[in-house]
């Protein structure tokens, strides 16, 4: 392609899921409902943890951070899609696309690291219960979260700067409902070999590394659980990990599903549909997973809800 045909685009076009106008109200209603459930559920979990002193422990500290990350994760993509449907426009500015891509990459990496930190917390609690309060002191917990934020920020900045060096053609169409990094890179007119190398290297390092840490932690946890003699003790030890293990399976299962589906089908619209699982569905289900199987969380949520009901009655009075 001649250099004269390459321009710095003013906007991208997000094609979304369907171009059929009749389906747009249905898509809008479904995603608005899921978004509201995600925001309210995760904020309620965070509020319950902050308001209940019994939940001021490392495990719930990490859970509160994970809930806030899920709020940001979903808010990066869904509101813009809803606005585009409502205004019947598919456009997103070049700066807006890069901003969306930066924050989506940031929250994805931070979600990944927090799940790894939570696995380490469960590993210490089950394999080294007598030293748990010494190892997982508040200072270390804050440091782990800060390091996770710093690494995620540096990774997002790297990927953003790598995209800035690319040249794009006019009338750019992205077959997705948000500016996904891989889709944006492969929309460029210039050579993307270096970008692909950086993306794959980061995926192996920042995706495979935390996953290896989670698998190692749970291998040690399972070994420790097998040494427990009583069945009740085994059940109690495993129940403390069940919620986290469910969230990890859901997050990594959907991410790997999107990767393999895109590699096999080569259908961008199918990839966009599969991406909904880890971008919208997983953050929506996380509060239910952590609250339904957790007695302490149920009690905290009841206290929060009871406090709201009492306040409402006082206001009405």
pLDDT value at residue 246: 85
Q: Rounded mean pLDDT of 8-29?
A: 83
Q: How confident is residue 4, by pLDDT bands cut at 50, 70 and 90?
A: very low
Pick the CATH number of 8-316 from 3.90.1300.10, 3.90.1150.10, 3.40.50.720, 1.20.1070.10: 1.20.1070.10
Taking the C-alpha atoms of residue 290 and residue 297, their distance in angstroms, rounded to an integer, is 8
Residue 309: CB atoms within 10 A of its CB come to: 10
Pinpoint the alpha helices (H) of the chain: 24-51, 58-75, 78-87, 94-127, 132-135, 138-164, 181-185, 193-202, 209-226, 231-265, 268-276, 282-292, 295-316
Among 148-152, 240-244, 298-302, the minimum mean pLDDT is found in 298-302
pLDDT value at residue 268: 63
pLDDT value at residue 217: 93
Residue found under tokens 């089908």: 265
Taking the C-alpha atoms of residue 287 and residue 70, their distance in angstroms, rounded to an integer, is 10
pLDDT value at residue 260: 65
Q: For residue 103, count CB atoms less than 10 angstroms from its CB and return exposed for 0-12, middle for 13-18, buried for 19 or more.
A: middle
- Closest by alpha carbon to 287, among 231, 246, 235, 234? 246
pLDDT value at residue 164: 92
pLDDT value at residue 182: 87
Per-range mean pLDDT, top range of 5-19, 30-44, 162-176, 303-317:
30-44
**Pair of tokens at residue 162:** 């790598």
Q: Tell me the pTM.
A: 0.88
Beta partners for 179? Answer: none
Q: How confident is residue 293, by pLDDT bands cut at 50, 70 and 90?
A: low
Q: What percent of the chain has pLDDT over 90?
A: 45
Q: How confident is residue 173, by pLDDT bands cut at 50, 70 and 90?
A: confident
Strand order in the sheet with 172-174: 91-93, 11-14, 172-174
Quick: pLDDT tens for 209-263.
999 999 999 999 999 888 887 777 777 777 778 888 888 888 888 777 776 666 5
pLDDT for residue 313 is more than 50: no
Domain ranges of the chain: 8-316
Per-range mean pLDDT, top range of 17-31, 54-68, 144-158, 276-290:
144-158
**Pair of tokens at residue 65:** 């951070």
Taking the C-alpha atoms of residue 278 and residue 247, their distance in angstroms, rounded to an integer, is 11
């Amino acid at each position: 392609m001649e250099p004269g045909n390459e321009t710095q685009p003013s906007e991208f076009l997000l094609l979304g899921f369907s171009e059929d106008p009749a389906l747009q109200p249905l898509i809008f209603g479904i995603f608005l409902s899921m978004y509201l459930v995600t925001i309210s559920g995760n904020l309620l979990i965070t509020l319950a943890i902050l308001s209940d002193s019994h939940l001021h422990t490392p495990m719930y500290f990490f859970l509160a951070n994970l809930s806030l990350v899920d709020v940001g994760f979903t808010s990066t993509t869904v509101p813009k899609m809803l606005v585009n449907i409502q205004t019947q426009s598919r456009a997103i500015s070049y700066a807006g696309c890069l901003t969306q891509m930066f924050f989506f990459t940031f929250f994805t990496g931070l979600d990944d690291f927090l799940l790894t930190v939570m696995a380490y917390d469960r590993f210490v609690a089950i394999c080294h219960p007598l030293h748990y309060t010494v190892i997982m002191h508040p200072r270390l917990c804050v440091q782990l979260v800060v390091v996770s934020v710093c690494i995620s920020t540096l990774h997002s900045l790297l990927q953003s700067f790598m995209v800035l060096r690319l040249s794009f053609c006019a009338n750019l169409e992205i077959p997705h409902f948000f500016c996904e990094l891989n889709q944006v890179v492969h929309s460029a007119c210039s050579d993307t070999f270096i970008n692909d190398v950086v993306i794959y290297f980061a995926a192996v390092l920042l995706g495979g590394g935390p996953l290896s840490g989670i698998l190692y932690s749970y291998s040690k946890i399972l070994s420790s659980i097998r040494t427990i003699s009583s069945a009740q003790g085994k059940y109690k030890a495993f129940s403390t990990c069940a919620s986290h293990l469910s969230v990890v399976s859901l997050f990594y299962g959907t991410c790997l599903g999107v990767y393999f589906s895109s590699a096999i089908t080569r259908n961008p619209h199918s990839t966009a549909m599969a991406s909904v699982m880890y971008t919208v569905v997983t953050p929506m289900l996380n509060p239910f997973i952590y609250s339904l199987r957790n007695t302490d969380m149920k009690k905290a949520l009841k206290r929060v809800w009871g406090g709201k009901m009492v306040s409402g009655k006082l206001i009405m009075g």
